[in-house]
Amino acid sequence: MNLKKIEINVCEYSFSELDNDLQQLIATAKDNTKKSYSPYSKFAVGAALLLENGQIISGSNQENAAYPSGLCAERTAVFYANAMYPSVAPKALAIAAFYNGSFVEEPISPCGSCRQVLLETETRYKTNIQILLYGENRIYLIPSVKQLLPLAFNEQNLKKE
Ligand code: THU
């Protein structure tokens, strides 16, 4: 048996330590929680996706009475960006959540399906997407989606050997 350890890099920041671009992206993600349609969970998630041309794409979770038909904030933003601007690479994604009358204290992290979609986007545009997870107590900055999804299934697995 050969034990392999996989480590990921997560940088913890306070809001004031971040540069202006990233502060702006977080502010937009927080604002986008207001656009969430989440009557079932009441957990309002906002996403803000910065593209390489400086444009910011907004996303929020969109729920449905048939629960699995809803979509997370992250995928709403990424699919919209990829559909509208297929030749513009995304650079950074900020995520914030509002629940029970306030922004969540600890950063929330994208679900597994969102990680898989974000990884595809990184691969597709041959770039790293910085992930910013907002919490009132701390902010996590993850330099690439690859960090969030080690041992991922990817397009290489579909190639004939
Ligand atoms: N949700 C997101 O939009 N993003 C996440 O990172 C975690 C969860 C949504 C899905 C659902 O509408 C609600 O939050 C509760 O799970």
**CA 120 / ligand 1 centre spacing (Å):** 19
Interval 148-156 mean pLDDT? 90
Number of domains forming the structure of the chain:
1
**CA 74 / ligand 1 centre spacing (Å):** 9
What pLDDT score does 155 carry? 83
CATH number assigned to the domain comprising residue 34: 3.40.140.10
User: How far is CA 118 from its chain centroid?
Assistant: 7
Q: What is the pLDDT of residues 132-141, one digit of tens each?
A: 999 999 999 9
Q: Is the shortest distance between the CB of 78 and ligand 1 below 6 Å?
A: no
What pLDDT score does 156 carry? 85
Is the pLDDT at 4 greater than 90, yes or no?
Answer: yes
Question: Residue 158 domain-assigned?
Answer: no
Question: Residue 5 domain-assigned?
Answer: no
**CA 101 / ligand 1 centre spacing (Å):** 16
Using most ligand atoms within 8 A of CB, pick from 30, 41, 67 the residue to mutate for ligand 1: 41
Q: Is the shortest distance between the CB of 22 and ligand 1 below 6 Å?
A: no
Catalytic residue among 17, 52, 74, 122: 74
pTM, to two decimals: 0.96
Q: Is the shortest distance between the CB of 27 and ligand 1 below 6 Å?
A: no
Question: Residue 154 domain-assigned?
Answer: no
Q: What is the pLDDT of residues 75-122, one digit of tens each?
A: 999 999 999 999 999 999 999 999 999 999 999 999 999 999 999 999
Residue 95 exposed, middle or buried by CB count within 10 Å (0-12, 13-18, 19+)? buried
Question: Residue 6 domain-assigned?
Answer: no
Nearest CA to ligand 1 atom 5: 110
What pLDDT score does 160 carry? 79
Instruction: Report residue 123's pLDDT band, with 50, 70 and 90 as the boundaries.
Output: very high
3-state secondary structure string, the chain? CCCCCCCCCCEEECHHHCCHHHHHHHHHHHHHHHHCECCCCCCEEEEEEEECCCCEEEEECECCCCHHHCECHHHHHHHHHHHHCCCCCEEEEEEEEEECCEECCCCCCCCHHHHHHHHHHHHHHCCCCEEEEECCCCEEEECCHHHHCCCCCCHHHHCCC
Question: Residue 155 domain-assigned?
Answer: no
Instruction: Report residue 61's pLDDT band, with 50, 70 and 90 as the boundaries.
Output: very high
Tell me whether residue 74 is one of the annotated catalytic residues. Answer: yes
* Residue closest to 72 by CA, chosen among 116, 104, 121: 116
Question: Residue 157 domain-assigned?
Answer: no
Q: What is the pLDDT of residues 8-32, one digit of tens each?
A: 999 999 999 999 999 999 999 999 9
What pLDDT score does 159 carry? 87
Question: Residue 68 domain-assigned?
Answer: yes
Q: Is the shortest distance between the CB of 135 and ligand 1 below 6 Å?
A: no
Residue numbers of the domain that contains 103: 11-149
What pLDDT score does 91 carry? 98
Question: Residue 99 domain-assigned?
Answer: yes
